[in-house]
Amino acid sequence: MKKKIAIIGAGIAGLTLANLIKKYTDHEFMVYEREESLSLEEGYGIQLATNSIKILNQIHFNKINDEKIFHPKTIDFYSIQNEKICDLNLSKFNSVEAKYTTLQRSNLIEFLKEDIYTQHLRFGKKIKEVSELKDKVLIKFDDNTNDLVDFVIAADGIFSNTRSFFEKKKNLVGMFWGNQAKKYIESIDIKDHLILTSSHPSPLSVYLGFNGCNHFQLCNEYMLKNHKKTIDWQTYDPNE
Ligand SMILES: Cc1cc2nc3c(=O)[nH]c(=O)nc-3n(C[C@H](O)[C@H](O)[C@H](O)COP(=O)(O)OP(=O)(O)OC[C@H]3O[C@@H](n4cnc5c(N)ncnc54)[C@H](O)[C@@H]3O)c2cc1C
């Protein structure tokens, strides 16, 4: 079934994945980049080992203009005192279809953007918040726009903000006391959390389930099981 995918970040990873999705699937997808343009600054090079060339060849990197790439045969390693440590024969890793390659980073980005630039790339989209709504994900951006998608792919680099939204929201404990509170469970994706329910602790209903429900103990047991800090409920300050 056709799905809607949001890729966060138009770096090498996000753009490569976008090309692969375009080539191999009919899913709807969009790459969201926080900057206003792609950095095509010349001067920075990148070395690509044969495994990455094999992936890139799936999206026709082998058709790139030969003048833009170079296949070094060896790499020499030097100490900071400029003494040679060793050299590595790169040709050993090469095959006919995938050779160790170096090129300008800007040329790689140019290549990766070619097929997706106009229809599948949005700039100035810094992700602000991500929330799971049943089987969809709502993404909110800094410019007050949003998108509702089936999947979010965090390709926003090593300090990914996007990943932290999901990681933070795993293994939470929700205590829902009383019928009014229980209504909120419907809007939560409960599979990654512990959901505890009981009657409301008011004098009228405390004996209908709240007494003896052990929610605080169950919460700490769950925290321990998931390698999280337990809570000292005697001194607990919700404003901390
Ligand atoms: C000096 C240097 C040299 C390197 N040389 C090599 C090399 O020779 N060979 C090699 O294989 N690797 C090299 N690397 C590593 C390589 O550059 C990285 O592994 C690669 O760029 C990672 O790509 P990426 O797409 O995962 O992340 P990034 O390139 O970091 O891209 C992430 C993108 O996400 C965007 N973004 C971030 N946060 C948000 C947000 N909240 N919302 C929306 N968008 C967001 C960013 O603006 C960026 O465009 C080098 C790295 C450095 C620093």
**What pLDDT, in 10s, does the model give residues 81-102?**
999 999 999 999 999 999 999 9
Atom 51 (ligand 1): residue with closest C-alpha? 46
In this structure, what are the phi and psi dihedrals at residue 20, rounded to the nearest 5 degrees? -70, -40
Longest dimension (CA), the chain: 82
Mean pLDDT on 89-118: 94
Least confident piece of the model among 121-125, 131-135, 183-187 = 183-187
pLDDT surpassing 90 at residue 135 = no
Which candidate, 6, 22, 5, places its Cα nearest to that of 116?
Answer: 22
What is the DSSP code (8-state) at residue 216?
H
Protein residue with its CA nearest to atom 13 in ligand 1: 46
153-203 confidence digits (pLDDT tens):
999 987 777 877 777 667 889 999 999 888 878 766 677 789 999 999 998
SS3 category, 126: coil
12 lines ligand 1 (CB under 6 A): yes
Pairing verdict, β 146-149 and 151-154:
unpaired
CATH superfamily, domain 4-168, is FAD/NAD(P)-binding domain (3.50.50.60)
Distance between Cα 157 and ligand 1 center (Å): 5
* pLDDT number for residue 187: 61
The predicted pLDDT at position 239 comes to: 63
Sign of CA pseudo-dihedral 161, 165, 171, 173: positive
The residue whose CA has the least distance to atom 6 of ligand 1 is 46
- Three-state SS for 208? helix
Q: What percent of the chain has pLDDT over 90?
A: 72
The structure tokens listed for 26 are: 């009919």
Q: Which residue has the higher pLDDT, 39 or 23?
A: 23
Quick one: pLDDT at residue 216? 96
Yes or no: say if 22 and 116 are a contact pair by the CB < 8 Å rule.
yes
Domain boundaries, the chain: 4-168, 173-225
Q: For ligand 1, is residue 56 a contact (CB within 6 Å)?
A: no
Contacts of 230 (CB under 8 A, 6+ apart): 220, 223, 224
What is this structure's pTM? 0.74
Round the average pLDDT of the chain to a whole number and report it: 91
Distance CA 130, CA 160 (A): 13
pLDDT tens track for 139-156: 999 999 999 999 999 999
Indicate the pLDDT class of residue 120, thresholds 50, 70 and 90.
very high
pLDDT of residue 168: 65
